[in-house]
Amino acid sequence: MAIPSSSAYLFLLSFFTLSLFLAISTAESESELELVADLQALQSESKSGVIHLDDRTIAKFLTSPKTPRPYSILIFFDATQLHDKTELHLRELRQEFALVASSFITNHNNSNTKLFFADIEFRESQSSFHLFGVNSLPHIRLVGPTAKSLKDESEQMDQGDFSRLAESMAEFVESRTKLTVGPIHRPPILSKTQMGLIVALLLISSPFIAKKIFAGETLLHDPKIWLSGAVFIYFFSVSGAMHNIIRKMPMFMVDRNDPNKLIFFYQGSGMQLGAEGFAVGFLYTIVGLLLAFVTHLLVYVKNAKAKRVAMVFAICVSFWAVQKVILLDNWKTGYGIHGFWPSSWN
Residue 200 lies in a domain: no
Domain identity same for 226 and 320: yes
**56 vs 37, 52, 345, CA distance in Å?**
17, 11, 80
The reply to whether 233 and 293 lie within a common domain is yes
Q: Are residues 233 and 326 in the same domain?
A: yes
Residues 166, 41, single domain; the answer is: yes
Which residues in 131-264 belong to E strands, given as ranges? 139-143, 155-156, 253-254, 262-263
Contact 52, 41 (CB under 8 A): no
Both 172 and 42 in one domain: the answer is yes
Low-confidence ranges of the chain (pLDDT < 70): 1-30, 270, 338-340, 346
| Last residue within a domain, chosen from 114, 148, 177 | 177
Residue 339 placed within a domain: no
Dihedral sign computed on CA atoms, order 56, 58, 64, 65: positive
Which residues are 51's β-sheet partners? 118
Is 75 a domain residue? yes
Among 147, 177, 207, give the residue marking a domain's end: 177
- From residue 214, alpha-carbon distances to 170, 198, 207, 211, 219 in Å are 52, 23, 11, 5, 13
* pLDDT at 115 (0 to 100): 92
Q: How many structural domains are present in the chain?
A: 2
Within 10 Å of residue 90's Cβ, how many Cβ atoms? 22
**In this structure, is residue 6 part of a structural domain?**
no
Q: Domain for residue 204, yes or no?
A: no
Per residue in 267-305, pLDDT tens?
777 677 888 888 888 999 999 999 989 988 888 888 888
Whether the CB-CB separation of 332 and 267 falls below 8 Å is answered with yes
**For position 213, what pLDDT does the model report?**
78
Instruction: Please write the tens of the pLDDT for every residue from 132-183.
Output: 999 888 899 999 999 888 888 999 998 777 777 888 899 999 999 889 998 9
171 and 311 both lie in a single domain: no
Domain boundary among 177, 210, 233: 177
pLDDT for 24: 45
Task: With CA atoms as reference, report the closest residue to 251 among 241, 261, 237, 238.
Answer: 241
Asked if residue 205 belongs to a domain, the reply is: no
Q: Is residue 12 part of a domain?
A: no
Inter-axis angle of helices 274-296 and 304-333, to 10 degrees? 160
Q: Count how many Cα atoms sit within 13 Å of the Cα of residue 305 in the half-sphere of its side chain.
A: 0
Domain of residue 117 covers 28-177
Same domain, 155 and 33: yes
Q: What is the pLDDT of residue 23?
A: 41
* 45 and 125 part of one domain: yes
What's the one-letter identity of residue 158?
Answer: D
Tens-place pLDDT, residues 89-100: 899 999 999 999
Q: What is the CATH number of the domain that holds 58?
A: 3.40.30.10
**Lateral strand order in the sheet of 50-53:** 50-53, 115-121, 72-78, 139-143, 155-156
State the virtual CA torsion across 9, 11, 14, 15 in degrees, nearest 10: -110
Residue 334 confidence (pLDDT): 75
Indicate the pTM of the whole model: 0.56
DSSP secondary structure, 177-201, as one string: H--------PPPSS-HHHHHHHHHH
Q: Are residues 171 and 306 in the same domain?
A: no
CA Rg, the chain, in Å? 32
Domain check: are 33 and 129 in the same one? yes
Q: Is residue 83 part of a domain?
A: yes
Are 63 and 159 in the same domain? yes
Burial of 103 (0-12, 13-18, 19+ CB in 10 A): buried
257 and 173 co-located in one domain? no
